[in-house]
Amino acid sequence: MVNITPDVLNTECPKSEAVFYDTMIYPLSEAGKELKEIKSKLTAYFQHIAKLKDDRLLVLVANLLLENTVDNYLSAIMPAYEENISAKKRDFTFSSKICIAKALKLSPSQFLDGVNLVRKIRNEFAHNLKTETFDALPPKLIEKIETILKTYYPTKYPTEKSIQEQFKSLTLSTYIALNATIENIRSLNSFLRAEEFRHSLLAYCQNQQQKT
């Protein structure tokens, strides 16, 4: 049984580190529709992940789902991302996507750290035939799962019975947070391309000139 507590999931970081320094405090555009969409994605995620028992298959599926989520994250702020980058750059690796997402500083970095850990664990399974279960992973990666979960849940760390369940909690919590962030990024992108933003930017620049 995977033990997650989304209500105490830490979605914060210092204000200087991200535009959405607390993902959950920002209103979503068309909130009812967007929340329903997140719930639908979450249900689909459960269907993919919850029934998997084989460690290698679980890791490969989780990695694929999170890479698709990072693609959606980047598409949310870069409208032509899929057309000009993702589809054409076959050497544009998952690692590169994570680095760009972190460099944008739109959301708390701990969730992209979670994605990166899943990527590293996936590489262990994909590149080493002897790695068939989580128990065969390097101890430092197993320790990192617990470290990141404690970052996600500083007040109520979800205790699990196995490394597999910890991994499921890690990927599910990451998936929840990133999808909530994506809706905020889409709202930001829409605002940046609206006439209202240009007027707001002009007023801001004029105000800054007056201060100097």
Quick: pLDDT tens for 31-48.
Answer: 556 556 666 767 777 677
d(CA 154, CA 148): 10
Q: What value does the mean pLDDT take over residues 175-186?
A: 87
- 172-182: average pLDDT: 88
- Does the pLDDT value for residue 2 go beyond 60? no
Q: How confident is the model at residue 5 (pLDDT cuts 50, 70, 90)?
A: low
More confident residue, 6 or 168: 168
Top-confidence residue, 205 or 4: 205
Report pLDDT digits (tens) over 87-140: 666 678 999 999 999 999 999 999 999 999 999 999 999 998 889 999 999 999
Residues in CB range of 73: below 8 A, 6 or more apart:
101, 178, 181, 182, 185
Q: pLDDT digit string (tens) for 11-33?
A: 888 999 999 888 765 555 555 56
pLDDT (0 to 100) of residue 26: 58
Res 137: pLDDT: 95
Report the candidate in 65, 86, 64, 63 with the shortest Cα–Cα distance to residue 74.
86
The total number of residues shown for the chain amounts to 212
* Contact present, 20 and 106 (Cβ < 8 Å): yes
In which band, very low, low, confident or very high, does the pLDDT at 1 lie, cut at 50, 70 and 90?
Answer: very low
Question: How many other β-carbons are positioned within 10 Å of the β-carbon of residue 100?
Answer: 18
Angle, nearest 10°, between helix axes 163-192 and 55-77?
10
Q: What is the pLDDT of residues 34-83, one digit of tens each?
A: 556 666 767 777 677 777 889 999 999 999 999 999 999 999 999 889 88
Q: Residue 35: its pLDDT value, please?
A: 59
pLDDT at 7: 65
